[in-house]
Structure 1
Amino acid sequence: MSSRALENAIDAPTGAESFVYNGRFTGQKATGVQRVARELIVAMAQLPEISNITVAVPPGDNILPVDGAKTVKIGFGKGLFWEQFVLPLFAGRRRIVNLSNSGSIFRPHQVIFMHDAAVFDTPAHFSRRFRAWYRIMFWILARTSSCIVTNSDFSRQRLAHHCGVPASRIGVVPLGADHLDATDPDESVLGEHLLTSNRFVLAVSNLNPTKNFARIVEAFRQVNDPSLDLVIVGMKNPIFGKIEDISNIAPNIKYVGYVSDSKLKALYQHARCFVYPSIYEGFGIPPLEAMKNGCATLVASAAALPEVCGDAALYCDPYSSDDIAVKLKSLLYSDELRADLRHRGHLHAGKYRWQTSAQILLTELQKI
Structure 2
Amino acid sequence: MKILFDHQAFTGVRYGGVSRYFYDLMVSLQQKGVETQLSLLFSNNAYLLESDAFRVQSFSYFLGFMPTNMLFSQVNRLWSIAQLKRNQYDVFHPTFFHPYFLNHTKKPFVLTYHDAIKDKFGAEFGHIDNASKELKQTLFDRSAQVIAVSENTKQDLIELFRIKPEKITVVHHATAFQNLNVPETFQIQVPEMYLLYVGTRNDYKNFAPFLKAIAPTLTKNRRIHLICAGGGAFNPEETQLIQQLGLTNQVGQRGIDSDVALFRFYQNALAFVYPSLYEGFGIPILEAFAAGCPVILSRASCFPEVAQDAALYFDPKSEADLRQQVEKIIADDTLRQSLIRKGYERGQYFSLEKTASQTLQVYQRIA
TM range (shorter): 0.7 to 0.9
Residues 54 and 72 in structure 1, CA contact (< 8 A), matched pair in contact too:
no
Residues 43 and 56 in structure 2, CA contact (< 8 A), matched pair in contact too:
no
Distance 2:100 2:272 in 1: 39
Q: How many residues align?
A: 337
Residue 115 of structure 1 aligns with an amino acid whose one-letter code is: H
Distance 1:322 1:65, change over 3 A: same
Tell me whether 1:227 sits opposite 2:227 in the alignment.
no
Q: How does 1:215-364 map to 2 (within 5 A)?
A: 215-223=209-217, 224-236=220-232, 244-246=237-239, 249=243, 250=247, 251-364=249-362
Tell me whether 1:23 sits opposite 2:7 in the alignment.
yes
Distance 1:78 1:147 in 2: 31
What secondary structure sits across from 1:217 in the alignment? helix
2:198 pairs, out of 201, 204, 209, with 204
Residues 105 and 141 in structure 1, CA contact (< 8 A), matched pair in contact too:
no
Residues 256 and 262 in structure 2, CA contact (< 8 A), matched pair in contact too:
no
Query: Counterpart in 1 of 2:21?
Result: 36
Tell me whether 1:167 sits opposite 2:160 in the alignment.
no
Residue 14 of structure 2 aligns with an amino acid whose one-letter code is: K
Same amino acid, percent of matched pairs: 25
Residue 254 of structure 1 aligns with an amino acid whose one-letter code is: G
Tell me whether 1:114 sits opposite 2:97 in the alignment.
no
Residues 113 and 150 in structure 1, CA contact (< 8 A), matched pair in contact too:
yes
Query: Counterpart in 2 of 1:195?
Result: 191
Distance 1:336 1:227, change over 3 A: same
CA RMSD of aligned residues (A): 2.8
1:47 pairs, out of 29, 32, 39, with 32
Distance 1:42 1:69 in 2: 7
Cα drift, residue 358 of structure 1: 0.3
Distance 1:145 1:362 in 2: 16
Cα drift, residue 82 of structure 1: 5.0
Residues 103 and 112 in structure 1, CA contact (< 8 A), matched pair in contact too:
no
Distance 1:85 1:255, change over 3 A: same
Residue 30 of structure 1 aligns with an amino acid whose one-letter code is: Y
Cα drift, residue 123 of structure 1: 2.6
Distance 1:302 1:265 in 2: 25
Tell me whether 1:138 sits opposite 2:136 in the alignment.
yes
Distance 1:141 1:246, change over 3 A: farther
Q: In the TM superposition, what whole-angstrom CA distance separates every residue of 1:127-166 from its partner, at most 9, and x where no partner exists? A: 45x5553434322211111121120011111122222212
State the TM-score, normalizing by the size of structure 2: 0.82
Distance 1:66 1:202, change over 3 A: closer
What secondary structure sits across from 1:329 in the alignment? helix
Structure 2: which 5+ runs fail to align?
58-69
Residues 84 and 104 in structure 1, CA contact (< 8 A), matched pair in contact too:
no
Q: In the TM superposition, what whole-angstrom CA distance separates every residue of 1:186-231 from its partner, at most 9, and x where no partner exists? A: 75432xxx522xx000111222321211122112212132110011
Distance 1:91 1:279 in 2: 38
Cα drift, residue 317 of structure 1: 0.5
Structure 1: which 5+ runs fail to align?
1-15
